[in-house]
Structure 1
Amino acid sequence: MIKISIKDAQIGMVAAEPIKTPLGQILALPGTPLTRQLINKMKLYKVGSISIQNPFDAAAPQAGENTAKRDKVKPVPKTRAHEMVTNIQRVQASEEFRGFQLKYITCINRIKDTFGKICAGEKSFDEAALLTAVIDLSASCGTTIETFDMLYNMRTIADPLYSHCLNVGLITRMIGRWLHMEKTDVNTLTIAGVLHDIGKCKIPDDVLNKPDKLTDEEFALIKKHPQFGFDLIKDLQIDSRIKRTALMHHERCDGSGYPSQLDSSLIDDFAMITAIADVYDAMTAARRYRAPLCPFAVISSFESEGFTKYNTKFLLLFLKKLATTYQSNRVMLNDSRFCNIVMLNPHELSRPIVRFDDGSILDLSTNREFFIKSVM
C-alpha cells in the first residue's frame, strides 16, 4: 500500500482503502480502480491524499511461496467497482460519446457566450443558433437512456452553471416531446430550460461556488436569482413563457416556493416542467455535501414529497418515463447485491421487482429494508 497526493492520482491505480471526503463520506471502496470521473470527484470534494495498492505487492512472490500453485489462483470475481468502471468505460470509449462530447462543448460555449451578452446589456441574442445547437446535441442520442448516460459522463468537463442549464434544456425538451407538444412549443420549452438559471450570473462566484455552508444572508442572495434572471431577459424579444420560467422555476404548487410563494393556479406550465428537470439534474449531480443520487433515489424523493409541490400530470409522466428507461437495467441494492430490474411497480416506481443472478426474485415494494443504491 502506498499513500499519494491526489495530484499524483492516475487512471488505472487501485484504491487500497476507502476513499473518503474530509467529512467522512465514502466516495469509493477498496479495490476500486481510479477513473477520470472518480479523480475529478475527489478533487471536487477536496480529498487531499489516498492510499493505493502497490502493484509490486501482488506481482512478487513471497519467500517460500509455491509459484506454480500461485499461477493457478482463480480469477477474482467481479465487484461493484468492476461493474461500474466497465459501464463508464463502455460509454466513454464509444464513438457516440466522443461525438456527443464535441457537440456538448459547442453548446456550452454558445450558452456561455449568450449569457455573457445578455448580462452585458445586449437586447437580443441568436436564439435560432442556440436552439439549433441544442437540437443537434439532443438528436445525437438515439434513446432516453443514452441521453442520461451521456449527461452523467459529461458532468466534470464544464462549468457547473452552464452544464446544468444545458442539461435542464435537454431534459425539458424530452418532457415536451413526451407530452406530444407542438414542435414550436417544444423548441420554446427547450430555450426556457437553457435560460432558466441565467440569474445566477449575477451571484458572486465566491457565493455561488462556496464550498462551505452558506450564511443566511448568502442563501437569501441565492434565492434572488429567479428575479435577477427575469430582470435580465424581460426586455428581450422572446416568448413570454421563457421569461416566466426564469422567474417561476422555484415556485411550488403548494405555495412553498420562491420568490413569490405562488400557488399552482399562477405558475406557468413551462416553469412547472422546468422545475422538475431542474431538481432532477441537481439531485443526480455531485454536491459538496453529498455524492450524486441514483435515478431511483430521486424517484423515491419525488414520490415521498413531490406530488404536493409539482404538477401531478407532468411529474407522473416524467417518473414513469424515467423508470421505464431503466427497465431490465443492472442495479446494485443497498446491501451491495447486484440484480436486474424485471418489472416496475406502477404504484411505487422507485421499488420495482428485481431478479438476482441465481434466478431468485425480490419485490422491493414489500421488502422495505432493501432499495436500489445505484444504477450500473
Structure 2
Amino acid sequence: MKVITKMELQSDMVLGEDIQDQNHVIYPAGTTVTPQIIEKLKRYNLVCVTIMEDIDFATTHYEKIRFDSNFKAFERAYPIFLAEYKLAMKQLLVMGRKPADIFLLTIYQELYYYITSGSVLLDYLYNLMPSEDELTYTQGLNAALLAGTFADWLSMSEEEKNTLILCGFYYDIGKLQLPYELLWKPGKLTEEEFKIIKTHPVVGYTSVRNQDLNEHVKNAVIMHHERLDGSGYPYHMSGQKIDVYARYMAIIDAYIAMASPRTYRNALTPLQILGNFEKSLDKYDVELLMPIMKRIADAQIGTNVQLNDGSVWEVLIIHPNKFSRPILKNEKNEFVDLLQRTDLEIVKNV
C-alpha cells in the first residue's frame, strides 16, 4: 500500500484503508475511487489517503514476486546480459574466438547482483518469461546462474565454483548448432529427429576441444547426458568414469528442463521436480544431488500448493526421506501427510 496526498487521488484507484472523519467511516477500504468521491473528499479536512498498489492485488507467491521491485530490476537486466552471452557464443562458433573466462564470469556476477539467496533465484527463474527465439541461449545463462547457487549450497571453493559456472555457460553449446525448429518442436520427436538431438554433446565438444578451456568444462560438454547407471549418451558411460562436473551439470540440466514450460505442459513445481528426481536416483550422483534437493525442498516451506482435488494447502514440514511428499496445513488448521495420502498429488503452486 502507498500513502498519497488527497490532491494526488485519481479515479480507479482503490482505497487501502478506511477514510474516516471523527470516527465515522466516509469510505471503507476497498472502495474504487470515482470523480464523485474525489469531489466529496474536498469538503473534508483530509491531507493523505492510503491506496492499494498492484502487489496488494496479488494473491499467490509467484504473483507477488512479479511485482517485487528487485525482480523487476533482474528482469530488466537479464536480456542485456543474455545478449552479451549470445554474442560471445556466436563469435566462438562462427570465428573460433573464445570469450575470456573473466568475461563470462562477470556476466554471472553482474546478473547475480540482483539475487539475495538461492531460493530467490529459483523463484526468479520460475517467473522469467524468455522470448521464444532465445530459449537455447537462455538455458545456458540459467545453467550458469544455477551452477553458482548450487556451488554455494555445496560449499565449493571459489575456483571450483567458477569452473562449475563456466560449465553452465558452455555445456549445451552443441544445441546452438542444431536447427531451432527441431530443438523446440511442439510435438513428439520422431526416432530420427531424436537421434539428431542426441548428437549435440559430440557437436559441442568438437567446437571446444581445441579451445583454451578447463578440461572439466570440456568434459561437461560431452558427458552431461551420461547417467550413472549407464543409460545416458553418447557413450553410455557409468559411475565415476563420468567427470564430476558433468555429473553436476546432469542435475542442473534436468532441473532446468523440468522447471521450464513446454508446449505440451506447464513448468513443473519445485516439489514435482523433486518427485521426478526421487524416481530416478540411480541415474544421478546422489552424494551431489541429495544436498541440492534438500535445499530446494526447504525453500518450499511456507509456500502454498494446490492438490489434484482442487484444495489449497501450505507446505509445513518436509520429510527427510521423501522431500516431494511433505506434510501440509490448510486455513482450517487441518493437516494432511502426502506420504500417507498417495491419492493426492501437488499440481501447482499458488
Q: TM-score, normalised by structure 1?
A: 0.75
Q: Which moved more, 1:167-176 or 1:119-128?
A: 119-128
Q: Which residue of 2 aligns with 1:242?
A: 217
The answer to whether the Cα contact below 8 Å between 2:130 and 2:138 also exists between their aligned partners in 1 is no
> 1:33-70: per-residue Cα shift (whole Å, max 9, x none)?
xxxxxxxxxxxxxxxxxxxxxxxxxxxxxxxxxxxxxx
**Cα distance change of structure 1 residues 213 and 97 upon mapping to structure 2, 3 Å threshold:** same
**Cα distance change of structure 1 residues 88 and 346 upon mapping to structure 2, 3 Å threshold:** closer
Task: After TM superposition, give the deviation of residue 95 of structure 1 in Å.
Answer: 1.4
Q: Which moved more, 1:86-95 or 1:237-246?
A: 86-95
**Alignment partners' CA distance in 2, 1:157 and 1:225:** 22
Q: Which residue of 1 aligns with 2:285?
A: 311
Structure 2: any 5+ residue segments left out of the alignment?
1-55
Matched, 1:344 2:318: yes
> 1:286-329: per-residue Cα shift (whole Å, max 9, x none)?
11222221111111111112x11000111111111100011121
3-state SS in 2 of match to 1:136: helix
Q: Which residue of 2 aligns with 1:178?
A: 153
Paired amino acid for 2:265 = R
> 1:153-212: per-residue Cα shift (whole Å, max 9, x none)?
213346111111111111121111111111011011001012111101111223223223
Query: Among residues 321, 325, 328, which one is paired with 2:302 in the alignment?
Result: 328
Q: Which residue of 2 aligns with 1:139?
A: 113
CA RMSD of aligned residues (A): 1.7
**Alignment partners' CA distance in 1, 2:83 and 2:96:** 18
Paired amino acid for 1:340 = E
Q: Which residue of 2 aligns with 1:365?
A: 339
Paired amino acid for 1:374 = K
3-state SS in 2 of match to 1:293: coil
Task: After TM superposition, give the deviation of residue 114 of structure 1 in Å.
Answer: 1.5
Query: Among residues 94, 104, 120, which one is paired with 2:78 in the alignment?
Result: 104
- Report 1:252-263 matches (<5 A): 252-263=227-238
> 1:227-258: per-residue Cα shift (whole Å, max 9, x none)?
11111111111111111001000000000000
Query: Among residues 102, 116, 121, which one is paired with 2:95 in the alignment?
Result: 121
Q: Which residue of 1 aligns with 2:144?
A: 169
**Alignment partners' CA distance in 2, 1:123 and 1:146:** 34
**Alignment partners' CA distance in 1, 2:108 and 2:76:** 12
The answer to whether the Cα contact below 8 Å between 1:103 and 1:133 also exists between their aligned partners in 2 is no
3-state SS in 1 of match to 2:329: strand
**Alignment partners' CA distance in 2, 1:84 and 1:348:** 31
**Alignment partners' CA distance in 1, 2:283 and 2:84:** 33
> Sequence identity of aligned pairs in percent?
30
The answer to whether the Cα contact below 8 Å between 1:123 and 1:235 also exists between their aligned partners in 2 is no
- Report 1:138-217 matches (<5 A): 138-157=112-131, 159-217=134-192
Matched, 1:225 2:200: yes
Paired amino acid for 1:338 = V
- Report 1:229-308 matches (<5 A): 229-305=204-280, 307-308=281-282
Task: After TM superposition, give the deviation of residue 147 of structure 1 in Å.
Answer: 0.9
The answer to whether the Cα contact below 8 Å between 2:308 and 2:347 also exists between their aligned partners in 1 is yes
Compare CA radii of gyration and give the structure with the larger one.
2
Task: After TM superposition, give the deviation of residue 85 of structure 1 in Å.
Answer: 6.1
Q: Which moved more, 1:262-271 or 1:150-159?
A: 150-159
Q: Which moved more, 1:238-247 or 1:156-165?
A: 156-165
**Alignment partners' CA distance in 2, 1:359 and 1:210:** 45
